[in-house]
Structure 1
Amino acid sequence: MNNTFGVSIIPDNEVERVKKLHDYQILQSEDNGPFKHIAALAAHVFKVPIALVSFVDSERVFFKGNVGMEDVTDVERGISLCSLSVMRQQATVFKDALKEPCLLKNPLVAGEFGLRFYAAVPLTTHDGYNLGSVCIVDKEPREFGIDDQITLEYMAKLAMDELELWKCKLYSESRLQDSSAQ
């Protein structure tokens, strides 16, 4: 995998983390309505051009909620800043990406895309696995205070609640299919 950050983007619990992500079966899903709404809410509240609900798989990052980059459904893990957000339990914030040494070789920062601001909170399961993030992106540097962080944390919790509901729905549908097959 191409890693543009110069720091590790693979958590110590990577094998278990990816297995947990696949247990949710969200990567194959076409129905992303709740995640799109969360991304739209984040874009509106923070007044940013781009907001995403992302899931970090072993090689790619998938956007299941996407405002501002609707034509992009996934990107290489080694260039997505969301790969950095699963490495930490707290928010990942780059107020000015051009002042961050680990981002200077990243094509989203150094290239024509022009990413300058990034803030993300991980989507964390009840047992501590970071599956992805809710993130906001701007092409201008900006401030991001504690109130902003708390708001983004609530949005990540909301996205995680939706993911749990998704998993319950899958389980219920599977049980119904099993009982009708008997």
Structure 2
Amino acid sequence: MKNTFGVEIIPEIEAERLRKLHDYQILDTETDGPFKHIAALAAHIFKVPIALVSFVDAERVWFKGNVGMENTTEVDRGDSLCSLSILRQEATVFRDALQEPCLAENPLVAGEFGLRFYAAVPITTYDGYNLGAVCILDKEPREFTIDDKITLEYMAKLVMDELDLWKCQLYTQTIL
């Protein structure tokens, strides 16, 4: 896998993290529903053109909720800033991505897409595995306050609650 960041993007617990992600059977499923609603809410609240509910798989980042990039369902993991956001328990914020040395070679920042602002909070299981992120993006630099961080954290928790409901529904379908 290519890596455009110049820093390691694979966490030490990658095998266990991927096993947790795959247990949810969420990848490559329909993108309508609550996950899209959460992305739409994030775009509206933060007044950004792009908001995503993403899941970081082994080689790609797949979008379960997508506002502003509807024609894109996934991005290579080595290009997606979501790959950085799962490495931390707290928010990842780039107020002006052009000012970040680790993003100098990233095609989403340095290329035609023109990404300038990125903020994300990991979607974390109750036993501590970061499966993906709720992220907001803009092609203009932006500020990101403590209140913004708290709001995005709540959205990530909503996604995790929905993901657990999804898994319960899968379980119920298999035993019926």
CA distance in 1, matches of 2:167, 2:48: 30
> 1:131-182: per-residue Cα shift (whole Å, max 9, x none)?
0000000000000010000000000000110000000000000010xxxxxx
CA distance in 1, matches of 2:28, 2:22: 9
Partner of 1:87: 87
Partner of 1:123: 123
Query: Which is greater in Rg?
Result: 1
> 1:86-106: per-residue Cα shift (whole Å, max 9, x none)?
000000000000110000100
CA distance in 2, matches of 1:175, 1:31: 25
CA distance in 2, matches of 1:21, 1:35: 16
3-state DSSP of counterpart to 2:54:
strand
- Gaps in structure 2 of 5+ consecutive residues: none
Partner of 1:36: 36
Q: Displaced runs of 4+ in structure 1, greater than 4 A?
A: none
Residue 11 of structure 1 deviates from its aligned partner by 0.5
| TM-score for both structures, normalised by structure 1 | 0.96
CA RMSD of aligned residues (A): 0.6
> 1:110-134: per-residue Cα shift (whole Å, max 9, x none)?
0010000000000000000000000
CA distance in 2, matches of 1:70, 1:109: 19
CA distance in 1, matches of 2:85, 2:36: 19
Residue 29 of structure 1 deviates from its aligned partner by 1.5
- Gaps in structure 1 of 5+ consecutive residues: 177-182
Partner of 2:74: 74
Percent of pairs identical after alignment?
78
Partner of 2:167: 167
